[in-house]
Amino acid sequence: MNPLGYGDPLRLGPYRVLGVLGEGGMGKVYLGRDSSGRKAAVKVLLPELAHDAQTSQRFLREAQAAQAVRGKGVARVLAVETEGGRPYIATEFLAGPTLDSLVRHHGALQEPYVRALGATLARTLGDIHAAGLVHRDLKPSNIVLTSTGPRVIDFGIARPEHGMTLTTTGQTPATPGYGAPEQILGQRTGPAGDLFALGAVLVYAATGAPAYDAGHVAAVQYEVVHGQPRLDALPPALRILIEPCLAKDPALRPLPAQIISALDPPRGAAKLWKQGPVAVEIGRSEEEARRLATFPDADTLVGSTAPGTGAPSRRRFFTGLAAGGTVLAAAGVGGLWWMTGDETPPRAHPWDADRLTDYEQGKAPDPLWGPQKTPVTGGVDLLVVRDLIILDTRSPDLIAYSVTDGKLKWRAKDVGWPALYSPSVDLLLAKSVDELYGVARKTGERLWSSPVGIVTVLALAGDVYYYHDISGDYRVPGEVVALRVTRSGSKELWRKPIPFGADVDDLEAAAAGDRLVLTARERGAVALDAANGEEVWKVSRKSGETWLPYVAGDTVYLGGPSLRAFRLSDGKPGWSEAASTNSGLSVGAVDGDHLYLVAGGQLRCHRRKDGSKKWARVLQNPIQGRPVVSGDTVWVSSSLGTEGVKAFRKSDGEPLWTLQKGQEAEGSAKIAGAGNRVFSFRDGKLTALPVI
C-alpha cells in the first residue's frame, strides 16, 4: 500500500479513494470505499493512455470479460464508469495474499493445498471457457487466496476463444514461463493455453520454483517452446497429474473436468483455506481490510488532522503504512490486494541478490559478504535452501547462515550428515550412524528420528528418500529402500535387493518423479519404479562403464567413457558423446538447453538436444565436485587448493576471474550457488560472491 500522491483522485464515482494498491503499464489501482463501507479495487487508465482508442478498448474489454464469467472463482466487477475523461473499473476487493507472494515468503504448499488449488482453478477456467473466453495470463500473481478459496483476477489480455494474439513484434504475449508455446509463437491460443498455464502455476505452488527458469525472458520463452519443464521436485503423485498440462501439443493437454477428477482434492477441501499457515495470512489481510473500511472520512490535507480529534489525515496515515508500520508494508506476504497485470515482475525471490553490471574481466569482484569465520575446521558440503546456506559439516551438526548477510541463523546438533532438502515438505534430512533425522528448515529444530541401520544415502525426490541398506549379511549386496518423509516422520514404502548382485561398492543413484536410476560402474544401470521398486528398464553391462547418473526433465544422463542420454520413463536411448579423455565424462549441472560437463581437468558446455559440444575450457588440475551455475556465470573449484576457484561466462566459456589462486590452503574450496550468489568455503571461512 502506498499513500496518495500529487494528481491522485480523492474520489472516483461513489468510491472514496484511500490509497494506491499498485501501478502498471496501463493503469493505476486504488483502494476505494463507498458510502456503505464496501471496499473495491478501482483500476483507472493512465491519463496519457486514456485518449488512445486501442488501449481504451483493451481496458474496457477486461471488464466485459470478467462480467461475462459466471462463477465464484473470479473477482466480480462492480462498476465500469468514466471519471474526468478516464475510464475506470471497480472490482470486488479480495482480502488475501496472492499465490506468488505466499509461496515466495512461506515456501511451497503441501500436497492437499495443491490439489484443492488445482481443482478450484480448473473449475474457474471451465467457467471462463464456457463464457467463450480465454484468460491468456494465468500466473501466481493473478491468483488471490481468500478464506472462501482461490480467486482468479486480471482479464487484461483475455480474448474471445476464436481471437488471435494481441501482441505485435517485440511484445511479450504473457508472463514468461506461464504462456503456452503456441502463445509465445504468436499462434491462435485457445482454452488449452490456459491449461498449460495452470500446469506451470501448480508446479510453482508445489515446489516453490518455476517450471521454466533460464535467467532471462528470451531464454525462458525458448525453454517453454523447445525445452522441458523442471518437475524433479514434484511429488510423484502430483507429477503424473500436472505434467500432461505442460504438453507442447495443445491437443494432448487435459480438459478442466479431467483435471478436477484426477486431482481428487481431499474431502472438505474448501476448509483448507481456513486453517494452517495460509489461513493465518488470509486472516491478517482480512483484519487489515476491516481497519481500512472503518478509517475516518475526513478529506484533509497532508500533514493536517481531523478537526477536534488530533487524528492524522488519510494521506499521513498511509505514508506511515508505507514506512513499514503495519502488516501492509512489513508482513512480508504483501498481497492484501490484487495488482494490475502489467506490473514489472519482481525478483524471483526476495532474498536474491542483484547481478553485477560493472566488472573488470580478470579481476575478482569484492564479496557480497565474508569471509565469515565459522566453527568448522574440517571438510564441509554446502547446501543452499531458499534464504539459507547450510554447512553440512561431516560431523553431527548442521549450521545455517543467512544468504543475504552471512549471519548465523541456527545450529542443529547431533543430526548427522549428509543433508538433503525436500521442498515438497520443507524439510531437511540428515543421517547419523543408524538414525535418519527430519530437521525443520526454518529453525533447525529436530522434528523426528527414525532408525535405519547402516546405510548409504542414495537420493531424494520430492518426499521420497532412497538409501542403500548394508546392515545385513556382508556377503549379499544389501537392499535399496524407499521411505516417504513428512514433517511428522517417515514411512517405509518398499525395499528391494540391489539389482547388480554381490560385491557392489560403487553404487550411485539419481531420482526424479516416478523413477530411481541406479548405476554400478561395470554393471550398467537399472531404473526402478518409485511406486514399488520394480525394474522398469536397464542398460546392459556390455555397453561399457556407467557412473554418476544425472536426471533433468524426462532425461537421465549416464556418465562414463561416453556420456549417454536416455529417456527417463522407458529407457529409450538418445544421443551418445565420447569423452575424448581418459577421465570419462559426466554431467555436473544443467541450465536451460545446456549441460555443463566435467572431464578430468576440462569444463565443457554441451547442448542438451544432441550432446554436441559448444565450448570447453582446460584447467591445470582435475575439477573438484560439480560446477556451479548462477546468473550468467559457471564456476569450478580445482582439486588442488592453490589453483583456486574459477568463474567463466556461461554463454561462451570466456574466463572471467579466479579467486584464491596461489594461496596456501588445506585442500580445495567447496562451492555452491543460488539466488545470484556463489558461496565458497575454505579454511573454515564462508564467503558470498556476486555473479554477472
**Binding-site annotation: residue ranges for ATP:** 43
How far is residue 61's CA from residue 401's CA, in Å, rounded to a whole number? 49
* Sign of the alpha-carbon torsion through 74, 75, 81, 82: negative
How far is residue 205's CA from residue 221's CA, in Å, rounded to a whole number? 20
How far is residue 590's CA from residue 681's CA, in Å, rounded to a whole number? 23
Show binding-site residues: 43
Task: Provide the 10 A C-beta neighbour count for residue 138.
Answer: 26
CB-based contacts of 642, cutoff 8 Å, min separation 6: 661, 662, 663, 664, 665
- Preceding omega of 235 cis (within 30 degrees of 0): no
Q: Which long-range contacts (CB under 8 A, 24 or more apart) does 255-259 make?
A: 255/195, 256/122, 256/123, 256/125, 256/126, 256/129, 256/195, 257/122, 257/126, 259/118, 259/119, 259/122, 259/195, 259/198
Q: What is the 3-state secondary structure (H, E, C) of 251-263?
A: HHCCCHHHHHHHH
The three three-digit cell numbers of residue 370, written as one number: 565474508
Q: Which long-range contacts (CB under 8 A, 24 or more apart) does 679-682 make?
A: 679/382, 679/384, 679/389, 679/403, 680/637, 680/645, 681/374, 681/376, 681/380, 681/382, 681/391, 682/641
CB 205 within 8 A of CB 241: no
Phi, psi at 493, each rounded to 5°: -95, -45
Q: Position of cell 574440517?
A: 378
E strand map for 541-622: 547-552, 555-559, 562-567, 573-578, 586-591, 594-599, 602-607, 613-618
Buried b / exposed e over 83-121, threshold 16 CB at 10 Å, is eeebbbbbbbbbbbbbbbbbbbbbbbbbbebbbbbbbbb
- Preceding omega of 112 cis (within 30 degrees of 0): no
CB 484 within 8 A of CB 491: yes
The three three-digit cell numbers of residue 357, written as one number: 553490471
DSSP string covering 44-107 = EE-GGGTT-HHHHHHHHHHHHHHHH--STTBPPEEEEEEETTEEEEEEE---S-BHHHHHHHH-
